[in-house]
Structure 1
Amino acid sequence: MSDPQSSAQAQMTNGQITEDEASLYDRQIRLWGVEAQNRMRSSTVLILSLRGVAHETIKNLVLAGIGRLIVADDSAVSSEDLGTGFLFREEDGAVGQNRTKAALHQISSLNPLVSLTAWESLAPFVGGSEGEIVDVLKKEKVDVIVACDLPKAQLESIDSAARKAGSMFYAAGTYGFYGYVFADLGESYEYVYTPKPTPENTSPGLAKKTLSYPSFTQALSNEKWTLPASQAAEGGSPYRGLTRNETKNAAPGVVLGLLALWEYEKKNGVLPAGGEGQVAEMQASAERLRLDLGVNGKALPAVDPHMIEHLASHATHFFPPTLAVLGGLLAQDVLRALSRKDRPIVNLLSVDSMGGVGTVGRWAMGEGKDA
């Protein structure tokens, strides 16, 4: 009988992966397979903004063996940044340095096999034109762009350009105990999966499925929220018409809070800071959104005021447990999207780290088609 590790290494060499890579990534090669690992090692991932959730995300992506990582940020490390993750070290004099410059050594030490590029600016992704963003993404051959903790309006603009450039897009952010991940993998994303066994086929082989993702703007547009949940793929509410139990399983509360927070940000140009009037404004928005989306009133008669108060008071604060949980989930899904092995997020993940709840909602997209 051949040695499993030797066999894996031989396969990887044939797949143009070195013995060092085969040894380093042996465990995940056994899990995902040679082809999936090859896709990851040939990929380029761009991370925008090294605040908060980016730290855990970067760690997991680099350790998994992506080919190239580009990190971009235009701000200097502050004392508050020191508590958000491992990339910035006070003993290394990180405070005052550009975030990408301060993080380079920590990132490269995780896995020297990953090519690392640092940009000390967020231009043109922030402040530039859509055409400029498209040009950069195409020039750098970016497979996935991950925008962290940026205002929703900026995320929508970046996503629009990513779709035109053919790059997959993730948006993610945390607001105190709460956070989200949104995925837009393009209009025709294909992945492989293993179907569930049936009495007629107890050992099914791999199958392919194609998903059509909407943009961030399309997914959360309220133009068609009056449509029932059965028509969610057309932009209808994913909650309208659900039974009491179905609504509880969908856990719409956190999403309503996030939507109210984004409404406040759009109207006022900044995130709330906890003022009494701000809390009341967000609570009113969340209640209106609950009705607009047709959420079952027996399952959720009102949006949790404690959650709204927390979001309004801590929208600009980072909590390490939330960052760790969301960053891990985000990185895992980016790797899944790159490997095209199993279904990625479809398409909005909301997380309550203190409540231990994470729910994926399907916004303006269907079940997908067999390829």
Structure 2
Amino acid sequence: MVAEASTISKDEAAVYDRQIRLWGIDAQNKLRNSSVLVVGISQLGAEFAKNITLSGLNSLTLLDGHVITKDDVGHNFLLPLTPGEDLIGKNRAEAAYPRTYTLNPNVKLTAIPNDLETELTKNGEDWLGRFSLVALIDQNYDLVVRVNAICRRLGVRFIGASVFGWVGYSFFDFNGHQFLTKVQNKDKEASSTMDLENEQGDENKKAMTMTIEEDQFEPKPYFYPAFEEAFNVDWSQKKLLRKCKRIIPSSYFLVKSILRAQKESRFTGNGEDADLRVLEEIWEEEVKNGNHLKEQQTVQPEKFDHLFNPQLTPTCAVVGGLMGQEAIKALSEGKNPLRNIFIYSALDTTGIMCDFPPQ
């Protein structure tokens, strides 16, 4: 269940004045009544949590069962760097609470030091229904598939995202939720008219008249595919064969290969070299399945060591920024949502929006 509807106070209106001017008081009130769950307070998770907190939510829940490692310290800006304090081994969600709170004290903040599977076992799957949006960040493939299915059943907006070293992706599923859509019927378009003085400024002479057509928008539900469907397109279909080279970016094969390695439990964890060999093998298969040539790919296997931790800060900033943008659109029922997979690669400096499976 989402929070009971309420409107922003005068004090909040002053805090959010700039963004109210940008997207309007109605959109801000919708954000004010939204509750978001962020699972995974990694460096990417911190970027998204920051962006969504500053938007002016009703409540934010940080959930993470992992402890802080050396990859987090100095990179995750939600973790305090107190002289003499050793953060290694502390829970990430609890450690991130103080700085997240200072970003926006108006947001009701909760930190849960557990993994999501533990919470679902304890509270039941319907527990996710209390949130307006659930974001899974840097989580395993199988968990993302499962939680996405739960959110679709409960009608909860969903984002899944990860950053693998220098490359990252975000997946959006706002299935059935409304966005403002431009009215195509010109009969419904409004117009405004204003009189202008002639060039000489002579008010006694006939003034020019300018009519400005104003776009009209109405709420309309949008439909999205599930995570598993979007990342498991059969590119051998006749209708897709000729499109493959045009619509599949090289960076897609990097992301898909890592997701597939997770799905098939192929990463050994026994050493980077073994995982690199697995990744290259899967990548070659995925490139072939996508009707591409491996020698034409912008990122070759000799750079695959850049696809492992630590996460590159600029990649987290780009992916986390777009996640925040689309989350705000979804919660405020705004305009022009992007569908449905964004992939950013700092290896070839590309950021591409893909709509998979192709329409």
> Considering only aligned residues, what root-mean-square deviation do their CA atoms show, in Å?
2.8
Paired with 1:271 and 1:71, the residues of 2 have a C-alpha distance of 29
Paired with 1:76 and 1:60, the residues of 2 have a C-alpha distance of 23
TM-score (structure 1 length as normaliser)? 0.80
Paired with 1:68 and 1:333, the residues of 2 have a C-alpha distance of 18
Q: Say if 2:335 is the partner of 1:342.
A: yes
Aligned to 2:205: none
| 3-state SS of paired residue (2:128) | helix
In the TM superposition, what are the counterparts of 1:212-227 in structure 2 within 5 Å?
212-222=223-233, 224-227=234-237
| Percent identical | 24
Paired with 1:56 and 1:255, the residues of 2 have a C-alpha distance of 22
Paired with 1:197 and 1:25, the residues of 2 have a C-alpha distance of 34
Aligned to 2:177: 189
Q: Say if 2:112 is the partner of 1:119.
A: yes
Pick which of 202-211 and 171-180 moved more. Answer: 202-211
Q: Say if 2:253 is the partner of 1:256.
A: yes
Alpha-carbon offset, residue 260 of structure 1: 1.2
Deviations 1:7-27, CA, capped at 9 Å, x for gaps: xxxxxxxx8211111111111
Alpha-carbon offset, residue 284 of structure 1: 3.4
| 3-state SS of paired residue (2:296) | coil
What amino acid is the match of 1:69? Answer: L
Alpha-carbon offset, residue 75 of structure 1: 1.9
Paired with 1:22 and 1:70, the residues of 2 have a C-alpha distance of 23
Paired with 1:283 and 1:293, the residues of 2 have a C-alpha distance of 15
Alpha-carbon offset, residue 331 of structure 1: 1.0
Deviations 1:180-212, CA, capped at 9 Å, x for gaps: 0001112x22210446998x9643211444321
In the alignment, is the contact (CA less than 8 A) between 1:272 and 1:312 conserved in 2?
A: no
Deviations 1:218-245, CA, capped at 9 Å, x for gaps: 22224x432256xxxxxxx5xx32386x
What amino acid is the match of 2:77? Answer: F
Aligned to 1:32: 23
Paired with 2:337 and 2:17, the residues of 1 have a C-alpha distance of 23
Distance 1:280 1:96, change over 3 A: closer
Which residue among 169, 193, 198 is the counterpart of 1:180?
169
Alpha-carbon offset, residue 360 of structure 1: 0.9
TM-score (structure 2 length as normaliser)? 0.82
Distance 1:125 1:142, change over 3 A: farther
Which residue among 89, 105, 108 is the counterpart of 2:98?
105
Aligned to 1:303: 297
Alpha-carbon offset, residue 51 of structure 1: 1.1
Paired with 1:273 and 1:350, the residues of 2 have a C-alpha distance of 28
Distance 1:313 1:319, change over 3 A: closer
Aligned to 2:81: 90
Distance 1:110 1:339, change over 3 A: same
List alignment gaps of at least 5 residues for structure 2: 1-5, 190-212
Aligned to 1:154: 143
What amino acid is the match of 1:157? Answer: R
Q: Count residues with an aligned counterpart.
A: 329
Aligned to 1:232: none
Rg larger in structure: 2
Deviations 1:277-303, CA, capped at 9 Å, x for gaps: 5434433322322232334x5xx7533
Alpha-carbon offset, residue 312 of structure 1: 4.5
